[in-house]
């Protein structure tokens, strides 16, 4: 690519006012070019397939398809496009999730214009940029003790997922096409492995530990 060709940027955010602000920011830089705006993850994927995009500025909290899933699919379908996560959120699991999905950078929306421009240029060159908060989140995740798996079998995880959805034993039996006694056995095993005294306690623990989703 010629050095004089601007970096083609796609803005992905469900808030029009944010897209407008980012579009104005890009106009102020000769080496950055706005090629398209997407209001959803699905739009981003379509636009990326339709035209060359060097860097996508990706919001994470969007309806229907969140930014983590959009990033994963975009990196699969448009592998030449780098993704810069640009969000108001700094939760550990978001940071880890979107970087694992293929984003090269993670910035908060309070970043300065100069820092954002530098991050776009760095992403285009294959260099990551992480906000201090994102770096802290990664360190926190890396130093956390591993979450217990409780050694649940795949069938027990299926049963547990249906318990979380509020199904009782007869309904679970019907859903999985097994006998009620089989379901009762699985539920007892789940409670035992989780050290839970009741279905409610097991469900609460499963949701808290993200055991099935």
What are the structural domains, with CATH classification, of the chain?
Answer: 7-143 (3.40.50.2300), 154-209 (1.10.10.10)
- Residue 145: predicted pLDDT: 72
- 102, 71 Cβ separation under 8 angstroms: yes
pLDDT attached to residue 2: 47
What pLDDT score was predicted for residue 147? Answer: 64
Which residues 6+ apart lie within 8 Å of 130 measured at CB? Answer: 105, 106, 107, 138
Backbone φ, ψ for residue 51 (5° rounding): -150, 160
| pLDDT tens digit at each of 213 positions of the chain | 445 799 999 999 999 999 999 999 999 999 999 999 999 999 999 999 999 999 999 999 998 899 999 999 999 999 999 999 999 888 888 898 999 999 999 999 999 999 999 999 999 999 999 999 889 888 887 787 766 778 899 899 999 999 999 999 999 999 999 999 999 999 999 999 999 999 999 999 898 888 886
pLDDT of residue 207: 87
């Amino acid at each position: 690519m010629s050095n004089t060709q601007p970096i083609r940027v796609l803005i992905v955010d469900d808030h029009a006012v944010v897209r407008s602000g980012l579009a104005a920011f890009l106009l102020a830089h000769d080496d950055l070019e706005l090629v398209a705006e997407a209001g959803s993850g699905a739009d981003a994927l379509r636009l990326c397939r339709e035209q060359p995009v060097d860097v996508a500025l990706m919001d994470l909290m969007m309806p229907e398809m969140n930014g983590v899933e959009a990033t994963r699919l975009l990196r699969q379908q448009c592998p030449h496009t780098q993704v810069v996560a640009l969000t108001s959120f700094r939760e550990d699991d978001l940071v880890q999730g979107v970087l694992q999905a293929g984003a090269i950078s993670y910035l908060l929306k309070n970043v300065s214009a100069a820092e954002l421009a530098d991050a776009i240029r760095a992403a285009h060159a294959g260099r990551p940029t992480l906000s201090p908060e994102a770096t802290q989140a990664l360190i926190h995740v890396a130093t956390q003790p591993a979450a217990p798996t409780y050694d649940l079998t795949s069938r027990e995880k299926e049963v547990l997922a249906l318990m979380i959805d509020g199904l009782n034993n007869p309904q679970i039996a019907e859903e999985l096409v097994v006998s009620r006694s089989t379901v009762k056995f699985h539920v007892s095993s789940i409670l035992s492995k989780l050290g839970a005294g009741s279905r409610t306690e097991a469900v609460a623990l499963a949701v808290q530990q993200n055991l099935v989703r």
